[in-house]
A = this chain, B = another copy of it.
Amino acid sequence: MPTTANSVQRPDRRRSLLSESCGVPHACDTALRMRVLSRVPFFSGLSQEQLARIDRRMVSLSWAQGDALYLCGDASTHLFVLAEGRVKLAQPTLSGQEIVVDLVGPGDLFGALSSLGQPVHAESAWALTTVCALRIDPNAFREILVAQPEVALKVLDDVAQRLASTREDVNQHSAGTVRQRVATALLRLADKFGVPSDGDDGALLQVPLSRADLAGITGSTAESVSRVMSQLRRDGVIDSGRRWSSIVDRERLVDAAKGDF
């Protein structure tokens, strides 16, 4: 009983549901860049002219899915503001595995945050989708911050927020079973990248993570994550496939995160 073109509510086949916003690497034009900048949280409230001044110091670049924006160990010479797509920040462990330390979406700042600090990147940045980002060198960024202290405060808030979130991660990694950690991770991902799915209280996670990525997020292995997710899928709590996941029954997933059920 094949599904018709319209009834894509809940596919019986486990095909990817993720939408690709832009298919190929490209260069954004000025108009798009201005639109991106105005959407960046810590530039909100600035005038068109102020934005234009910032825009003039930025370079627009793009990468294909799977490319590295920079690698762990590279000289940290640039700051990035993500315009489009998804990027994962990951640190290699001694054993070869990569731990995902952050996921960034449009409007997020990443790269050489601490100009005085490390001269090299402590983590690698991988394009999970086709990605467009604006690049600026730290000195130019500092000039902007000095000239516009309100922006500096917003950036500080943003980084502080990110610090709090990363501390949560630390907590997560040493809490409960793999099942609980995977459930918690999925819920947190839903908060950041979830788009509500039709009908129920579920949500599709708009970020193409492999089992290995989820293992890096939960501090586990791809196999264990796979096992847990298969079980949750059988129980109708989530749905997932190759590099995509969605939440079907949020409430039960919360229970799973708490260790009940």
Copies in the complex: 2
Specify which chain B residues have a CB less than 8 angstroms from the CB of A259 in the assembled complex.
94
Indicate whether A32 reaches chain B with its CB closer than 8 angstroms: no
A208 CB to closest chain B CB (Å) equals 21
Instruction: Summarize A's interface: helix, strand, loop or mixed.
Output: helix
* Distance A155 CA – B161 CA, assembled complex (angstroms): 14
Establish whether residues B174 and A93, one from each chain, have CB atoms under 8 Å apart when the complex forms.
yes
Instruction: Give chain B residues whose Cβ lies under 8 Å from the Cβ of A122.
Output: 164, 167-168
Known contacts A114-B161, A162-B163: does B171 contact A91 (CB below 8 Å)? yes
By size class, the interface of chain A is 35 or more
Interface set of A (CB-CB < 8 Å, partner B)? 91, 93-95, 97, 99, 101-102, 113-118, 122-123, 142, 145-147, 149-150, 152-157, 159-164, 166-171, 173-176, 216, 219-220, 258-259
Known: A142-B153, A170-B170, A170-B173. 14 other contacts (CB 8 A): A91-B171, A93-B176, A94-B175, A95-B175, A101-B170, A101-B171, A113-B156, A113-B163, A122-B164, A147-B149, A152-B153, A173-B173, A173-B174, A174-B219
